[in-house]
Structure 1
Amino acid sequence: MSHQPIVVLPRLAALARQAAPKILEGVIAPLAVFYAALAVLGLKGALIAAVTWVYAGVGWRLVRRVPVPGTMILAVIAITVRALLGFWTGSAVIYFLQPELGTICISMVFLASVRLNRPLVQKLTLDYIHLPSAVLKHERVRRFFARITLLWAFVLLVNSSVSIWLLLHQSIGTYLLVRTATVAAISGLAVLFSVIAFRRVLGRLHQDPVPAPSA
């Protein structure tokens, strides 16, 4: 009887080394560019600088025919929403609200990807880990990615909801401090759960027979 190929999830340190450059470029760098430009050029100049950085990164990959990481796609969605709202209002409160609205938009993308049977967590995972096609087609793996994508949609919604409440009811200083700690805690627990669940799924694959190909 044929069995699924055994896939071992790399150590967390190895995953972190693989993920760090892409997260740095697609998430952290645009934020750093934004704040640096904000101090020199003001809000609208900062928005232009951040948008330019993200879109330039995508354009460079398209020209070189290099796959665009899922984290960068999410950054494009978020920065587009933030830039449109920033130019439209020019409000400081709306400025802090923008990333939260972007997070809500991304959570909707996560939900839609499950509905379309293309769970976004699967694409993000494949940016960092190679999985054989036989593994990706396994029902247990497909179900895992769908459920984890739903989990992360919920996590993003919770993070944004808590952040918006803090923004509207607390001082900016309190908002920044409490939001950072809360989002880090919730996201950290979700990452830990996701990794443990993924290891558990991969550990069981060798016990499942490969479905016979259809005639």
Structure 2
Amino acid sequence: MTTSQSDHTEAGAQRSMDQHHHAFELPRIPELLRHALPRFVEGVIAPVAVFYAAFALMGLNGGLAAAVAWVYGGLGWRLFRGHGISATLVLAALGVTARAGLAAFTHSAVIYFLQPTLGTLLVGMAFLASVPLRRPLAQKLATDMVPMPEAFLAHTRVRQFFLRISLLWSMVLFANVTLSLWMLFNQSIGMYLWVRTGAVAALGAAAVGVSVWGFKRCMRHVSRERAAVGALAA
């Protein structure tokens, strides 16, 4: 084999390796929705409906008892179906129990709903802090859901994208907290539950849409750039 043939073979192998590192498939939107929608209904809509129905019929303590029963009923259903229960779910159940107990003791629904709002504030602060640290939290969460090649993640455009999306999500979460606190202290529990839940869901859906659209656009730019580099190397 001549030197030029060897160089051409090595260049082809390198391009193949680069393509392998950069080529991965993002799940389609309908697939993501089919995966996320049941969990959204189970984790967001149903608990609100259960709490409010019991609250309207039996008062605060009835609503709190129903909320706790819903959580432990979900754990029992997973055990019945042979599904494992993660430590995260157990901690979440214990957290709901503690919140409900404290709310019942203080006779205040505000106490029950205040804790998750403060948790949202902390998450928003984590997203914001990850931007100047150049360790975007959005990238960590995205790679947990969709494995991505290290070469792709190291691309400058990709890193900039995840920094901007981390900033976006921090703003979304802060808006969530602001709306939640205002409604919690100024509106009825019914208004808080339904208007706040709908508004937060709409805001989150819009942010997800922007994130997915931006990521697809980023992928197209990176793919075109790699194709151009490959064409020049050939």
TM-score range, shorter chain: 0.5 to 0.7
2:127–2:170 contact (8 Å) kept in structure 1: yes
User: 1:151 Cα deviation (Å)?
Assistant: 0.6
Letter in 2 for 1:111: L
Aligned length: 195
Instruction: Report which of the two has the higher share of helix.
Output: 2
Tell me the TM-score normalised to structure 1 length.
0.67
Q: Percent identity?
A: 41
Is 2:102 aligned against 1:95? no
User: 1:141 Cα deviation (Å)?
Assistant: 1.0
User: 1:12 Cα deviation (Å)?
Assistant: 0.3
Query: Against the structure 1 CA distance between its residues 76 and 160, is the aligned structure 2 distance closer, same or farther, given a 3 Å change threshold?
Result: farther
Query: Against the structure 1 CA distance between its residues 37 and 176, is the aligned structure 2 distance closer, same or farther, given a 3 Å change threshold?
Result: closer
Structure 2 gap segments, 5+ residues each: 1-10, 76-83, 230-234
Distance 1:134 1:191 in 2: 24
1:101–1:160 contact (8 Å) kept in structure 2: yes
Query: Against the structure 1 CA distance between its residues 15 and 37, is the aligned structure 2 distance closer, same or farther, given a 3 Å change threshold?
Result: same
Is 2:200 aligned against 1:183? yes
User: 1:179 Cα deviation (Å)?
Assistant: 0.8
Larger relative contact order, structure 1 or 2 (CA cutoff 8 Å, min sep 6): 1
Which of these residues, 167, 173, 180, is aligned with residue 184 of structure 2? Answer: 167
Structure of higher CA gyration radius? 2
Which of these residues, 211, 222, 226, is aligned with residue 194 of structure 1? Answer: 211
Distance 1:172 1:42 in 2: 11
User: 1:29 Cα deviation (Å)?
Assistant: 10
Query: Against the structure 1 CA distance between its residues 191 and 45, is the aligned structure 2 distance closer, same or farther, given a 3 Å change threshold?
Result: closer
Query: Against the structure 1 CA distance between its residues 17 and 205, is the aligned structure 2 distance closer, same or farther, given a 3 Å change threshold?
Result: same
Query: Against the structure 1 CA distance between its residues 142 and 103, is the aligned structure 2 distance closer, same or farther, given a 3 Å change threshold?
Result: same
- The residue aligned with 1:137 is 154
Structure 1 gap segments, 5+ residues each: 60-71
Query: Against the structure 1 CA distance between its residues 136 and 23, is the aligned structure 2 distance closer, same or farther, given a 3 Å change threshold?
Result: farther
User: 1:58 Cα deviation (Å)?
Assistant: 3.6
Letter in 1 for 2:125: M
Query: Against the structure 1 CA distance between its residues 80 and 128, is the aligned structure 2 distance closer, same or farther, given a 3 Å change threshold?
Result: same
Distance 1:101 1:153 in 2: 14
**RMSD after superposition:** 4.1
1:135–1:141 contact (8 Å) kept in structure 2: yes
